[in-house]
Amino acid sequence: MAIESIRVPEVGESVTEGTIATWFAQVGGTISAGEPLFELATEKVDSEIPSPVSGTIVEILIPQGGVVSVGDAVIKIDTEGGSSQEKATNNAAETVNESPAAPAEKSEPPARRARRSKRQAAAASSAAPPLPPMPPGLAVDEPVTLARTVEVGDGDSFQTFSRIRAVTGRIVAESNLTVPHALSLVEADHAGIFRARDAVAARGGRPPTALAFIAVAVARALGEHPVLNSSVGDGGLVLHSQINLSFAVATDDGLVAPVVRNANQLTVSGMADAIVDLARRARSKQLSPDDMTGGTFSISNNGSVGSVLTAPVITPPQVAVLSTDQVVDRAVVLERDGVKSIAIRPVGNLAMSWDHRAMDGADAASFLTRVKEIVETTDWSSVV
């Protein structure tokens, strides 16, 4: 019998630990290389970890709900043949020539251990006020991937937070406690975007969503307004050299915000493909933690669910987040050669929450006005 201990793999540069949210294997069962072995829940994203080998499950070392570090052994698999009964019997009688996984603090590189300690200390010092306790009888000793609902009497029910909902709640609570939010808004005429989409459709192609056009405009404007593409540091701003856009994606488990890197280098079609790919992988739990890190500016497409005005919450340490709201037909005043007229145009609000520590209203308004100008004056048909 050849026993192999499977360890928690590195799932991202910034991730050192997580929780076994779900086991897809059971003792005595078989698994093939590449099949999902367990789901690892981290602060950033849940990932299905595939088995690196084929064989029979001999022993599960970490129970569902257990906290693990990168490199910890979590399960033992017999990679040779034999019946499940035989393997279980042999496993009980045989001492495997392998010591248990060393604690993370012994095997973890010093630099990574220091980053983890700093992150944990920061989380503890910035914790949001405690929430009311759960009702009696509701298990709280294991992580919850999806929300659960229980009856609590008098026709009322109590719904637990899903893990992602809980993380989101902590982040937005911290944001509201520490970030002085301000809101600015412009109305953008989407007629040029719609003409470009119609042209793509006429050629038999699949038109990019309006979000892709707005994202390209935002990326261009960020290159001209570096204070919007920054993070709040100790006593100042970190002005980022890369423009990495975080996009809010709604999943069954809650909201996640994967990142499109170097967004200013993408065409509209490239941006549309990147957004579609992130959304698909987010909803099928195929994002890696690295997909969730490095964002320098966020976009939330609330218009896709009918909102016409949204005041989004900033994700620290970013300094701004833009909401693209629903495009609706409006009567607007147009001026040409000194003559004014009223026309029906497709108009959508671009509402941006921004950190008043990082900038003043003039900076925010200048940036939004530039985004509006790019949206309305670009010949999008020539750049799709």
By annotation, the residues acting in catalysis are 356, 360
Q: End-to-end alpha-carbon separation of the chain, Å?
A: 59
Q: Which residue type is seen at 303?
A: G
- 47: which 2 tokens? 């990932």
Q: Where are the beta strands (DSSP E) in 160-284?
A: 181-189, 230-233, 236-239, 245-247, 249-251, 254-256, 259-260
- 351: which 2 tokens? 């509402």
Please state the three-class secondary structure of 145-185 as a single string. CCCCEEEEECCEEEECCCHHHHHHHHHHHHHHHHCCEEEEE
Structural contact between residues 319 and 354, judged by C-beta atoms closer than 8 angstroms: yes
Distance CA 212, CA 342 (A): 29
Going by C-beta distance under 8 Å and a sequence separation of 6 or more, which residues neighbour residue 352?
183, 184, 185, 320, 321, 322, 323, 364, 367, 368
- 167: which 2 tokens? 């993380």
The number of residues in the chain equals: 384
- 195: which 2 tokens? 């003409």
